[in-house]
Amino acid sequence: MPATTAPEQKGTDIQRTPAQSSEIRQRFLAVDTANVADVLDDMGHGNYGLSPRLTLHTGSRLAGWAYTIQGEMAPYPGTGDALKMQACNGISPDEVSVWSGGGEGVCYFGELIALGMMQRGSAGALVDGGIRDVRWLRQLDFPVVAAFRSAIQSIGRWRVTGFQAPVYLPGATTARVVVYPGDFILADEDGAIVIPNSIVEDVLAKAEEMTAREVAIREAIGNGLSLADALKQFGHV
């Protein structure tokens, strides 16, 4: 198994207008991670799936541009994490906060952070660590992918060390996946995947084509065509 994904063009190297970014995000909400994963395989970028331990805990789908936050387990005095608050206040519309840095056993994302980020237009969160306030996050309908749940707070135990810099997340087919600020994050019931910023539009267009073929195949089978004949007519997906 490769140790990490090969570095792609950094996410911040490609600029889009807010309207373009929002349109792309809305289109991604209509495709499945399975189709995106297949497209990435076909394009030779097969190591961008995230670890199966990162699962969707709230919301039905997560899609947005990566806003990265990194931290570490470290005891510290006081009752707050100033850098964490600074990081949370920097997120923009259509962005997903991507939290990296371990933190086994503790929570560093919950309802109040979600409320603050929602006010700024955040589209959800991907947390390689613990979350809590799950009942309230569900009521907010705020999509969150996380490694686990924990009632134990991070204050005094885990702290933010930086944000909007490349981070590592555990991969499905590689030990680590590099996530750059501005990469695209997509997650649903099947899992979570990273799409490098430099190929986002190409991946989206191909995934939409695959989705349209799947819809046609379902309709054909529903109308009595055999699976073999449907695949012969429409092609494999």
Characterise 50 by phi-psi region: left (phi > 0), alpha (psi -120 to 50), beta (else): beta
**Alpha helices by DSSP H, 17-109:** 18-28, 33-42, 82-88
Q: What residues form the annotated binding site for Mg(2+)?
A: 133
Residue 188, both tokens: 């649903």
CA distance 200 to 228: 32
Residue with tokens 């135990």: 157
Q: Which residues, including other chains, have CB under 8 Å from residue 131's CB and lie 6 or more apart?
A: 57, 107, 109, 110, 125, 137, 144, 146, 148, 149, 150
Are 188 and 62 in contact, with CB atoms under 8 Å apart?
A: yes
Query: Which helix H or strand E contains 163, and what residues bound it?
Result: strand 158-163
Binding residues: 110-113, 132-133
Q: Which residues are annotated as a binding site for substrate?
A: 110-113, 132
Three-class SS state of 63: strand
Contact 217, 230 (CB under 8 A): yes
User: Which amino acid is present at 102?
Assistant: G
Q: Which of 46, 42, 55 lies closest to 1, judged by CA?
A: 46
Do 137 and 57 form a contact (C-beta atoms < 8 A)?
A: yes
